[in-house]
Amino acid sequence: MIRRIAACLALILFSLPAHAFETKASAAYVYDLSTGTVLLAKNADQPLPPASMSKLMTLYMAFEALENGRLELDDELLVSADAAAYGGSTMFLQQGERVSVEDLLRGIIVLSGNDACVVLAEALSGTEARFARDMTTRAQQMGMTNSTFMNSNGWPKPGHRMSMRDLGLVATRLITDFPQFYPMFAETEFLFDENEASNRYNRNPLLSLGIGADGLKTGHTTEAGYGLVGSAKQGDRRVVFVISGLETAEARAQESEAIVNWAFRQFSERTLGEAGTRITEVPVALGAVQTVGLELKDTLTMLTPYTGSNDVTAEAIYQEPFKAPIEKGAELGELVITRDGLPEVRVPLVASDDVAPGGFMIKLAAAAQHLLARLNAGPQEAS
């Protein structure tokens, strides 16, 4: 029998729902990386044209190639005619010149170079078209189920699509999988060609605002509107967000700053219970003792909103009966925490102590009790 009982943790009683953020973006996704909490999802799983934000997948594959030895930072890669022919945001690469992998990476991150993406794509897969297929395959392996790539850089092309959640996922993976490369995303300028000195500034509008922003990538096409995959860290918390469909660069900048401020000022990360905090007691059949405690397996840290009405519940769920022997630390149930406006959280509850089987007298008493219950049930129910 599944049993549900109300439970409480001291700090939960003081946690309050936050004000929802009404974004002007046509699609958005906000994720608290520190606690794994989705703070906002608006059309987050709809495949949309990602513009240059899809360059993050090209960068992820390049970083993987550096990590497994297929590329080195000082490798000099040849610029093909196809790479040099790209328009839009470029490094102004010339056909036949050779450029280091490190410069190409900065050219993509800081300058949003369409041409730099193609150079890396051709080095890794032979052709850009083949690299796009490889991107799609790798994205699927990573759980990005709403992404299909037709090129390496997000240049408008039918079928080139990513969802906001997928963009948030690749951004998160860039941060966590490649901490040695991630600081590149915070660089505000990169001068590659002195003849194009004006083309050296990072387009990310948040990097100079002093709000902890340190990445990742802007995007803009007529079809996609203005978008940004961003991340900011304040204290021990990191937030990743994705927005798309804004009408102007100014609107993108304002919306991005507003989202960062909302995410950090409306929520705080708190420890609601240390590992070993006892939540409830449950009965044990045929044991040397009659009950065992259910306690938190791990320290419970989660986001709790600052303002609003008190609407947070905690419920311990477990399935009876529990029968001895029971080992300390065995998972016996879970604690389900519900917060207004945020996803529920489920954490395991484990046995607080070992419970040995009962002796002969305990088993005899249990058998007698069972027999008495059947007799009292009557002949029809006992049959």
Rounded CA separation 195/209 (Å): 29
DSSP string computed for 252-267:
HHHHHHHHHHHHHHSE
Nearest to 5 by CA among 312, 311, 282: 282
Bridge-based pairing of strands 342-351 and 331-339 is antiparallel
| Widest CA span in the chain | 99
Provide the CA 208 distance to its chain's centre, in angstroms: 25
Q: Is the pLDDT of residue 358 over 60?
A: yes
Rounded CA separation 263/281 (Å): 37
pLDDT band for position 372 (cuts 50, 70, 90): low
Catalytic residue among 26, 42, 55, 256: 55
Instruction: Based on the residue annotation, tell me whether 52 is a catalytic residue of this protein.
Output: yes
Q: Could you tell me the two tokens for 163?
A: 């969802």
Share above pLDDT 90 across residues of the chain, in percent, rounded to a whole number: 70
pLDDT band for position 11 (cuts 50, 70, 90): very low
Amino acid identity, position 225: G
Rounded CA separation 50/245 (Å): 10
pLDDT band for position 146 (cuts 50, 70, 90): very high
233, β-bridge pairs: 238
Catalytic residue among 26, 52, 54, 244: 52
Nearest to 338 by CA among 3, 2, 9, 1: 9
Nearest to 165 by CA among 46, 55, 267, 255: 46
Q: Is the pLDDT of residue 305 over 50?
A: yes
Round the CA-based radius of gyration of the chain to a whole number and report it: 28
Q: Is the pLDDT of residue 296 over 90?
A: yes
Residue 337: the pLDDT is: 87
Instruction: Based on the residue annotation, tell me whether 112 is a catalytic residue of this protein.
Output: yes
Catalytic residue among 54, 80, 112, 152: 112
Does the pTM of the predicted model rise above 0.85? no
pLDDT in tens, 315-352: 889 988 888 899 999 999 999 988 766 778 899 999 99
Give the DSSP letter of residue 34. Answer: T
Rounded CA separation 198/94 (Å): 18
Instruction: Based on the residue annotation, tell me whether 363 is a catalytic residue of this protein.
Output: no
Rounded CA separation 176/169 (Å): 11
Rounded CA separation 375/131 (Å): 74
Show Cβ contacts of residue 249 under 8 Å, excluding neighbours closer than 6 positions. Answer: 205, 220, 226
Residue 288: the pLDDT is: 86
Cβ atoms 27, 46 nearer than 8 A: yes
Q: Is the pLDDT of residue 375 over 70?
A: no
